[in-house]
């Protein structure tokens, strides 16, 4: 005779409790986290914070990115090598450029704009090289650009010879609505070659 085992009194198997999302939807949660973050966030990190599967987070991010493009919004959600991040829309680039150069809150002088352009197109570049192009001492303007977070000193391997050289920052790219320096307008050929400037300085 087969014995019948009654399992009704046995305890239920342990099931991990779902982490409270703390937001109306996963889309809302991801938007809030990405707006708060200072750097790009990988999907795995966002999945850990929201308590949702990484695949679901990745899919939701991709859907959000497409929705922003379809709605022609002023911001875009993009995935880079380091993770997901909000950027100003490429369709608003002219507006952003005008704000950075002429906006009341971020107005730069003509000297600052010229110096920033030299550094952007010829980085890493030294003070002497910038001064050779502009014909004046650039120290004051360089300090202003550094204070605004638009340029920074290059690392040792980016600035050979022990001379302090300068490069643009990620903040510069963000303010200009660019993903990389390759998206800068093609005017670099109109700037002097740094090799010939070195000869003049020497």
pLDDT in tens, 140-171: 889 889 888 899 998 655 545 567 899 999 88
pLDDT (0 to 100) of residue 190: 59
3-state secondary structure 13-70: CCCCCCCCCCCCCHHHHHHHHHHHCCCCECHHHHHHHHCCCHHHHHHHHHHHHHHHHH
Residue 31 pLDDT more than 50? yes
- Residues 6+ away with beta carbon under 8 Å from 87: 75, 76, 77, 78, 174, 177, 179
pLDDT (0 to 100) of residue 197: 47
- Strands 165-168 vs 125-126: parallel, antiparallel or unpaired: antiparallel
Tell whether pTM > 0.75: no
**What sign does the CA torsion over 55, 61, 182, 121 have?**
negative
Mean pLDDT, the chain, as a whole number?
80
CA angle 113, 138, 120 (to 5 degrees): 45
> What are the residue boundaries of the structural domains of the chain, listed by start?
26-88, 92-201
Across residues 18-27, what is the average pLDDT?
85
Across residues 92-99, what is the average pLDDT?
78
Residue 132 banded pLDDT, cuts 50, 70, 90: confident
Query: Do 26-88 and 92-201 have matching folds?
Result: yes
Residue 29 pLDDT more than 90? yes
> By percentage, how much of the chain surpasses pLDDT 90?
34
Among 86, 67, 84, 66, which residue's Cα sits nearest to residue 76? 86
Could you tell me if 134 and 118 are in contact, meaning their C-beta atoms sit under 8 angstroms apart? yes
And the tokens for 105? 């809150």
Q: How many CB atoms lie within 10 A of CB 106?
A: 12
Tell me the CATH number for domain 92-201.
Answer: 1.10.10.10
Residue 185 pLDDT more than 50? yes
Separation of alpha carbons 60 and 27, rounded Å:
6
Phi/psi at 118 (5° precision):
-60, -45
| CATH class as words, domain 26-88 | mainly alpha
Q: How many CB atoms lie within 10 A of CB 30?
A: 24
């Amino acid at each position: 005779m087969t014995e019948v085992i009654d399992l009704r009194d046995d305890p239920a198997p342990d099931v991990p409790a779902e982490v409270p999302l703390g937001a109306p939807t996963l889309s809302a949660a991801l938007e809030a986290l990405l707006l708060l973050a200072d750097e790009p966030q990988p999907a795995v990190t966002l999945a850990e914070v929201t308590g949702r599967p990484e695949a679901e987070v990745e899919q939701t991010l991709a859907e959000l990115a497409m929705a922003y493009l379809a709605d022609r919004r002023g911001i875009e959600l993009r995935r880079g090598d380091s993770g997901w991040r909000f950027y100003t829309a490429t369709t608003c680039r002219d507006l952003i450029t005008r704000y950075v150069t002429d906006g009341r809150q971020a107005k730069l002088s003509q000297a600052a704009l010229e110096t920033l352009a030299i550094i952007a197109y010829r980085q890493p570049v030294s003070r002497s090289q910038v001064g050779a192009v502009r014909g004046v001492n650039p120290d004051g303007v360089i300090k202003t650009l550094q204070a605004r977070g638009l340029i920074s000193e290059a690392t040792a391997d980016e600035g050979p010879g022990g001379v302090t050289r300068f490069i643009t920052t990620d903040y510069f790219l963000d303010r200009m609505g660019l993903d990389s320096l390759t998206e800068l307008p093609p005017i670099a050929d109109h700037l002097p070659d740094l090799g010939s400037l070195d000869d003049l300085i020497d």
